[in-house]
């Protein structure tokens, strides 16, 4: 499979991903903007604006007309906002490719952003924000990033705060849309059993009205930490949820390949060290996993679990013990090979659909300005040695990079006691 990339004169990038014999086609638009591009007074606006694209255009004047266009053909569709990317996608039977392109381009270019709809949507988004607050397993991850980055865009909630949401108006939305939605920070990706040449022609036709303008750059994230840090959020819960992790590398750092393997060995699957230790041997919690997050200017490795109240010190101790072991001892060739084989297999499974393929290539293109194939990524993974893993662990598993966010029935006064156990 050879992907085709074309850059139009106005800067819009088209990525075609031909997948022979695929029954579906996915159209994905990614824009290089998100909550990291916001200022404090409009934090959450990227996400709110994403909602407003589904409220009507001149051609499809209501939410019902927008949604039933694809519902009538059994299509799947949605949108999402992250720290650095906002996306809109539609997945349809390949015979309905033109319907998807017409629908998604109409929303993207011609949404009305009516004041009445903005006022109505405020209630929806506030309830979405409240929903995450009621989900400790989700909210503790937001608190972890708040702990890492503090009062700067990287540390703010993507959904925003209630006070900001209530203050949004059409003028603010239009300004943000015009400032941040432009041809040269937008990628249109189409994946499926397609002709790349035909797709390029169709996208040029449907997206001919896209604006060409300079977009503001995001604020550089500052990372300052001299000792282990703890954030405790009191909540009366049946479990204590926590994220324990370390600052690491952005997506342009080649050490990210070794980091991904380290995360797998720590807590990436059901035979990983922490799954066996925290869950199987000690029975402390139902879920435990380690993952990596890398963006254009930030990165971290984090282990998250939910445990029986009262077992925080024990669970944290078990995780730190494994962190320490990676520092002090080289992993076996067998364990490293298992992680590489797991990554190879899971990558293959994760790219089995047209929407996954579209996301894989478009995300790279909009964030890194280039694409690397799965095979090329796996070649980099294969080059990682046991020495690389140990060196990496020595670099990241140090006291001044340790961070712990906790949600549970724990008082702020207990913070000092918790800080005392963060030793590595």
Does residue 224 lie within any of the structural domains?
Answer: no
Structural domain boundaries enclosing 47: 4-206
| Together in a domain, 162 and 302 | no
206, 237, 258 — which closes off a domain? Answer: 206
From CA 40, how far away is CA 140, in angstroms rounded? 21
- pLDDT tens sequence across 128-171: 999 999 999 999 999 999 999 999 999 999 999 999 999 999 99
Residue 1 pLDDT > 80, yes or no? no
Structural domain tally of the chain?
2
Does residue 220 lie within any of the structural domains?
Answer: no
Work out whether the CA dihedral 326, 332, 334, 340 comes out positive or negative.
positive
| Together in a domain, 265 and 411 | yes
pLDDT at 211: 86
On whether the CB atoms of residues 190 and 30 are closer than 8 A, the answer is no
Does residue 63 lie within any of the structural domains?
Answer: yes
pLDDT at 2: 86
Burial class of residue 204 in the structure, from the number of CB atoms within 10 Å of its CB (0-12 exposed, 13-18 middle, 19+ buried): middle
Share of the chain above pLDDT 90, in %: 97
Work out whether the CA dihedral 112, 115, 119, 125 comes out positive or negative.
positive
Does residue 69 lie within any of the structural domains?
Answer: yes
Which residues have CB under 8 Å from 293's CB, separation 6+? 299, 300, 302
Single out the catalytic residue among 50, 84, 117, 365.
50
- pLDDT tens sequence across 162-172: 999 999 999 99
| Together in a domain, 356 and 296 | yes
pLDDT at 39: 97
| Together in a domain, 67 and 191 | yes
From CA 47, how far away is CA 67, in angstroms rounded? 19
On whether the CB atoms of residues 312 and 410 are closer than 8 A, the answer is yes
- pLDDT tens sequence across 304-323: 999 999 999 999 999 999 99
Secondary structure (H, E, C), 232-281 = EEECCCCEEEEEEEEECCCCCCCCHHHHHHHHHHHHCCCCCHHHHHHHHH
Nearest to 239 by CA among 114, 389, 341, 139: 139
| Together in a domain, 175 and 296 | no
- pLDDT tens sequence across 90-119: 999 999 999 999 999 999 999 999 999 999
From CA 373, how far away is CA 13, in angstroms rounded? 18
Task: Characterise 11 by phi-psi region: left (phi > 0), alpha (psi -120 to 50), beta (else).
Answer: left
| Together in a domain, 407 and 268 | yes
pLDDT at 214: 87
Phi–psi pair at 405, nearest 5 degrees: -110, 140
Does residue 215 lie within any of the structural domains?
Answer: no
CATH of the domain at 26: 3.30.830.10
On whether the CB atoms of residues 202 and 101 are closer than 8 A, the answer is yes
50 catalytically annotated: yes
408 — pLDDT class (breaks 50, 70, 90)? very high
| Together in a domain, 247 and 179 | no
Does residue 31 lie within any of the structural domains?
Answer: yes
Does residue 198 lie within any of the structural domains?
Answer: yes
| Together in a domain, 96 and 233 | no
pLDDT at 420: 92
Determine the Cα angle at 135 with ends 272 and 37, to 5°.
Answer: 90
- pLDDT tens sequence across 252-288: 999 999 999 999 999 999 999 999 999 999 999 999 9
Residue 203 pLDDT > 70, yes or no? yes
| Together in a domain, 254 and 188 | no
Residue 338 pLDDT > 70, yes or no? yes
From CA 94, how far away is CA 192, in angstroms rounded? 7
User: How high does pLDDT run on average in the chain?
Assistant: 97
- Averaged pLDDT, 219-240: 96
Strands, E assignment, 285-410: 285-294, 299-308, 402-408
| Together in a domain, 320 and 368 | yes
Does residue 221 lie within any of the structural domains?
Answer: no
| Together in a domain, 375 and 308 | yes
Residues facing 30 on adjacent strands:
87, 187
| Together in a domain, 330 and 269 | yes
């Amino acid at each position: 499979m050879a992907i085709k990339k074309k850059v139009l004169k106005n800067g819009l990038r088209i990525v075609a991903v031909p997948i022979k014999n695929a029954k579906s086609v996915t159209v994905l638009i990614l824009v290089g903007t998100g909550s990291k591009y916001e200022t404090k007074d409009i934090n959450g606006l990227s996400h709110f604006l994403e909602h407003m694209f589904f409220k009507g255009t001149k051609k499809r004047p209501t939410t019902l007309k927008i949604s039933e266009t694809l519902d009538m053909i059994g299509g799947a569709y949605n949108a999402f906002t992250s720290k650095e990317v906002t996306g809109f996608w539609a997945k349809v039977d390949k015979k309905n490719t033109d319907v998807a392109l017409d629908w998604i381009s109409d929303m993207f270019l011609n949404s009305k952003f009516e004041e009445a709809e903005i006022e109505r949507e405020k209630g929806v988004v506030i309830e979405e924000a409240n929903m995450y607050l009621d989900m400790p397993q989700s909210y503790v991850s937001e608190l972890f990033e708040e702990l890492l980055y503090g009062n700067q865009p990287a540390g703010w909630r993507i959904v925003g705060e209630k006070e900001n949401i209530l203050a949004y108006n059409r003028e603010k939305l239009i300004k943000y849309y015009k400032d941040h939605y432009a041809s040269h920070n937008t990628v249109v990706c189409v994946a499926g059993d397609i002709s790349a040449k035909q797709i390029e022609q169709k996208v040029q036709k449907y997206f001919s009205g896209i604006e060409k303008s300079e977009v503001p750059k995001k604020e550089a994230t500052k990372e300052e930490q001299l000792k282990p840090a703890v954030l405790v959020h009191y909540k009366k819960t049946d479990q204590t949820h926590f994220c324990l992790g370390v600052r690491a590398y952005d997506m342009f750092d080649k050490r990210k390949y070794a980091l991904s393997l380290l995360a797998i060995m720590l807590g990436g699957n059901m035979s990983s060290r922490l799954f066996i230790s925290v869950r199987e041997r000690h029975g402390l919690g139902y879920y435990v996993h380690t993952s990596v997050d890398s963006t254009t200017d930030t990165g971290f490795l984090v282990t998250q679990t939910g445990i029986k109240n009262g077992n925080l010190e024990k669970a944290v101790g078990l995780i730190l013990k494994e962190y320490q072991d990676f520092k002090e001892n080289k992993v076996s060739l067998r364990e490293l090979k298992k992680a590489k084989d797991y990554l190879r297999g899971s990558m293959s499974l994760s790219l089995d659909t047209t929407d996954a393929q579209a996301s894989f290539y478009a995300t790279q293109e909009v964030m890194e300005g280039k694409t690397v194939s799965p095979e090329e990524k796996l070649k980099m993974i294969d080059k990682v040695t046991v020495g690389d893993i140990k060196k990496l662990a020595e670099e990241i598993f140090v006291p001044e990079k340790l961070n712990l966010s906790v949600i549970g029935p724990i008082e702020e006064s207990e913070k000092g006691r918790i800080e005392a156990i963060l030793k590595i």
